[in-house]
Amino acid sequence: MAQPGSVSEQKDFEVSRGYAYYVFTLLFLLYLFNYVDRMVVSSLLPYLKVEWALTDTQCGWFASIVTLMMTVFVFPVSLLVDRWSRRKAIAIMGVLWGFASAVCALSRSFTQLIFTRAFVGVGEAAFTSGGHAMIAAYFPEEKRATMNGLFTAAVPMGTAVGVILGGVIAEALGWRYAFGLMAIPGLIVALIFFWVRDYKTVEVFKKGLGSADLSETKMKLGDIAKEFLHTPSVLFTYLGYVCNTFVTTGLMTWLPTYYHRIDGLPMDKAGVKTAVIFLLAIVGAPLGGLATDYIRKRLLNARMSVPAVTSLLTGLFLFVGFFYCEGTAQYLLLIMFGFTAPMFAAGGSAVTQDVVHPGLRAMSYALAQFLMMALGYTLSPIFIGAISDRSDLLTAFKFMPLFCLCGAIVFFIGSFFYVRDLHKVERVSLKQEGK
- Which pLDDT value is given to residue 2? 40
pLDDT at position 211 is 39
| pLDDT tens digits for range 121-140 | 888 877 777 787 788 778 87
Q: Tell me: pLDDT of 204 over 70.
A: no
Residue 4 confidence (pLDDT): 42
pLDDT digits (tens, 9 = 90+) for 84-114: 778 888 898 889 988 999 999 999 999 999 9
pLDDT tens profile 343-383: 998 888 888 878 877 767 767 777 887 888 778 877 898 89
Return the percentage of the chain with pLDDT > 90, whole number. 32
Give yes or no for residue 185 having a pLDDT over 50.
yes
Note the pLDDT of residue 216: 47
What is the structure's pLDDT at 217?
A: 44
pLDDT, position 238: 92
pLDDT value at residue 347: 87
> Does residue 304 carry a pLDDT above 90?
yes
**Tens digits of per-residue pLDDT, 224-278?**
667 777 889 989 999 999 999 999 989 988 998 899 888 888 877 888 888 888 8
3-state secondary structure the chain: CCCCCCCCCCCCCCCCHHHHHHHHHHHHHHHHHHHHHHHHHHHCHHHHHHHHCCCHHHHHHHHHHHHHHHHHHHHHHHHHHHHCCHHHHHHHHHHHHHHHHHHHHHCCCHHHHHHHHHHHHHHCCCHHHHHHHHHHHHCCHHHHHHHHHHHHCHHHHHHHHHHHHHHHHHHHCCHHHHHHHHCHHHHHHHHHHCCCCCECCCCCEEECCCCCCCCEEECCHHHHHHHHHCCHHHHHHHHHHHHHHHHHHHHHHHHHHHHHHHCCCCHHHHHHHHHHHHHCHHHHHHHHHHHHHHHHCCCCCHHHHHHHHHHHHHHHHHHHHHHHCCHHHHHHHHHHHHHHCCHHHHHHHHHHHHCCCHHHHHHHHHHHHHHHHHHHHCHHHHHHHHHHHHCCHHHHHCCHHHHHHHHHHHHHHHCCCHHHHHHCCCCCCCCECCC
pTM for this one?
A: 0.67
For range 201-217, the mean pLDDT: 46
pLDDT score at 402? 96
In the prediction, which pLDDT does 311 show? 96
Average pLDDT over residues 37-51: 87
Q: Quickly state the pLDDT bin for 145 (edges 50, 70, 90).
A: confident
- Which of 3.50.50.60, 3.90.550.10, 3.40.50.1220, 1.20.1250.20 would CATH assign to domain 17-200+221-423? 1.20.1250.20
Q: Where are the domains of the chain?
A: 17-200+221-423
Give pLDDT, residue 364.
Answer: 78
